[in-house]
A and B are shown apart, each in its own frame.
Chain A
Amino acid sequence: GAPPLTLPESAARGEPALGGTMRIARPAASAAETLDPASSLSAYEYLGALYNRLVKLDIKGNTIPDLAAEWSTNSDATQWVFKLRAGVSFHNGQPFTARDVRYTILHILDPDTASPQAETLLTMIGPNRVDAVDDQTVRFRLKTPNAEFPSLLTAYQCYIIPQGSAATIGSTGIGTGPFRLDSYRPAGAGSVVVNEDYFDGRPVLDRIEFFAIQDTSARVNSLLSSQVDLLSQTNMDDATARVVIGSRGTTVARVPDAQWYTIPMLATSKEFKDPTVRRAMKLCYDSETLLQTAIQGTGSGGWDNPVPPTMAARAPGQRPYDPDRARALLKRAGKDGLQVAIYTSAYEPNLTPIAIAYAEQARKAGIDLKITSVSADSYYTSVWMSKPLMVSYWYTGRPVDQLLNQVFRSGSSYNESAWSNKRFDQVLDSARADTNETSRRAKYQDAQQIIVDDGADMTPIFGDRIVGLSDRVVNYDEYGFEFDYLNIGLKAQSQ
């Protein structure tokens, strides 16, 4: 038999050699991709190398300083003031000031930018509510209280760009980040070189090269043949992971719980209008078993709570697993022997295994799910938000407030299950207004409980992202949407 799968628990750590060039293969987004962080088509691997945000998240989901040194709010959390780091300048030499922050925010809010983060921010601020108080101070005057406001600025769309650069930023990539742009071509190759003057110290690497390879196998082959050192946005399935581990010169790293898998039940569909049916759909399966069958245990059980276990804000406790109850509930709802198609796609390697594993368990509760696979390129245009049942996924790393508001609040454009619950929305509002850290967290946890009990979006599991890399790569870290480009490096060549 094949060797048992022993995935490294995390990336290799160690002392990298200073300098060196790292080559990263990534899937080509599309020829329309851009370096403008605000855009929905940004070439996202570049962003962390080129830019900084005001604030960022740590691995636990806490908001920590980036370009902002500190921040404060008034008593009802309607006004936020950010003190900026001094002595930072953009790659083109232009000093970084509060005006750049204001400019960036306005750029995001500009309807022409069509930024996905605009909707979230617009509920709280408008163009005239951002003030550059002085060079080092920015003030946001919110429309409604929000004690979690800084966390919303951790989104990767909120990378700071220099004032007046909106028209050119897409190709110049001028930021304050650890690397400066060397070359770039949409859906093609590009590179960044070290920014010796980076405010947080010089990054380890001298240079990073990015290559676009659309076909997943081709990407893996490029790693196996040592053409690249790292595959980004390539969550490997088990077989591929084994091959990569088994091959000379390559290995994998795990990014714990980086993939948040969901099974949205369209709440507006005739199948899942009824909360009782939705409840049965949840009770019928066991997250731990699903975790084992679908992804060989490389992740954590979700138990329908969308907040990943790595985050401090996750509500404790676990919903029961009770297939008999599920069966009874269905009977009560008059949906005995429910039959429905569950859609999946090769869009992400684990969607189909999850669909299969879930369908297997549901069968035991008398639910007949027909697995229907759809070509990857139309999955998110023709199935998502339009078919009653499908498997989907997100990256984790959203701050809890944004996560709950963006994906679960009534009417939000990312609300993939079209679920709407007045009480849930109220709980979120009151949490936002709550300046007390502890009681606010309690309210967010209440909200999670509502999702678990009534929500239309199931969260069966969180999966570790299994990233293929050369065994020379050390200190690979990625959380949220953030690559740690500062510390990643290559081991000294042994020969």
Chain B
Amino acid sequence: MSQPGASLIDSRFGEQVAVVQDLTISYRAGDRNVVVAQDVSFTLNEGETVGLVGESGSGKSTVARTLLGHLRPGSKIDNGTVTVLGRDMFTLGERELRDMRGRQVAIVPQNAGQSLTPSMRVGGQIQESLKLHGLRHDPARIAEFADLVRLPTPEEIIQRYPHELSGGQQQRIAIAMAIATDPQVMVLDEPTTALDVITQGAVLALIQELRERLNMSILIVSHDLGVVSAIADNVIVLNKGVATERGAARDVLTAPRAAYTKRLLAAAPRLHPAPGEPEPEPIPFDDHAPTLLRCVGVDIRYPRAISLAVRNFQIDIREGETVAIVGESGSGKSTVAHAIAGLLGVEHGEAVITAADHRSQDLRQPVRKRPPVVRRSVQMIFQNADLALNPRRSIGDSVARPLRLFKRTRSRVETKQRVGTLLTEVGLTEQFARRVPGQLSGGQRQRIGIARALAAEPRLLIADEITTALDVSVQADVLRLLDELQERHGLSCLFISHDLAVVKSVAHRIVVMKEGYVVESGPAAAILDDPRHPYTRALLDSVVEPGVERLPSVDIEQRVRRVDASAAMVDVASGHLVRADVGADL
């Protein structure tokens, strides 16, 4: 990696505003020295956007924050310099550093929700930035910034506390706070990770616009290649603290040279095939397979809640089929999963399953009241395997529990063998049985979650956002595993995700939800290629993928429009149902 930074000088941009040179950072863990970043170099020019991509833990945030002269406590710089606007950030005195921070270099931290002080009004926090650097800070001025980041009713919203805002709004406040002092350099750390695609699109559009208006230089950190692709001019790929590839975003993300980048790109599921790659065949499915689960007109309410969380839900899952539910946050996806798993009762409607004893069984009861055979037939895999495994129990114990509970094994020896088989089946070894969850990686934990679900020998697996917490490469492995097992055991799967690309790669059929209603459902290909509901279309349009060079223009109105409570579901093609809302293409 010679010639640091040199290759990035680009005639399109002005002077260098930040130079990172041979940066090596490490921290001590016990008696070992762990390197977080090694010999990282890059430059950031006036008006330029540089993307920093890489898997979780690759050191992106660490590097990005050095532009503000910040290190996590315990870390130290072993080598290299960080120069911003001609000043070496790590030799500045406390006062000078404070003057630089916020005024010249600002950061929008990784998680806006947690980076806003909970006890202060958001307006006050923006004001603080202004005041610190001696800028105008009357309420009108603050409201202007809120308006600038396109928050509704700015005067009112700046009076709120952080927890009174949605995730997207918090993100905008964080951005407003950063741009308020008109900094030269802005560091955006995962600005859209916690947001749904539509909000993500809006936030990215905002960043784009602000950059142009204020002529800032931006360092954007993300593990989402699509986001970086859409917004960055140049990209640096970090792998375990080492910059493995750098170059124009267009080149790196369409024609990667480094093997690591290639792997990263290949693992990312896509809605649209990468240029030059064939459109994958839609996953075939036998339409005549017998129905396993059937829900009609299901209403679900949380205990003591005033309104229904899910209304008039309907779904059919056939044996061996994977049905995906997608939809914005709060649309009721998890609620449906919980109701089918029996964590919530069904208030109205019909819900039946053909259980392991081949009899049709009622699913409206909560799990406590279901007969064991039904309980066994429906098993759930949780989003964060980390949290769904009891940290104090060994893996073997966790996996063996359903075996004992559902009397799948009779003796201790048999249990042990079965656990071993299950672990092998999910791609681990028997030795894992003795470990505790803390000793596993995220992907391994998710495999354990799957093994535990399989132990009950279910007929239906419910997978609620099971890959959201995983890195793309791990995610691809887990999805492949799930697919394999499903095939082998003839399982049906209810797959919940907000990532359309992931859904496309696994689902036979897709159900789109919004505000507790199903707005569209049908075969995967029909939904993805021929979306009829305005919301589905907005969802699909918001997706940014590697190689995309500009942001999609999303009609925000579509998203904001509420579902019409009285609308009916209309069958537009064989099995493709669309809700007859305003703007639906029937």
A and B touch in their complex, CB below 8 angstroms? no
Query: Could you list which residues of chain A lie within 8 angstroms of chain B, going by C-beta atoms?
Result: none
Query: Could you list which residues of chain B lie within 8 angstroms of chain A, going by C-beta atoms?
Result: none
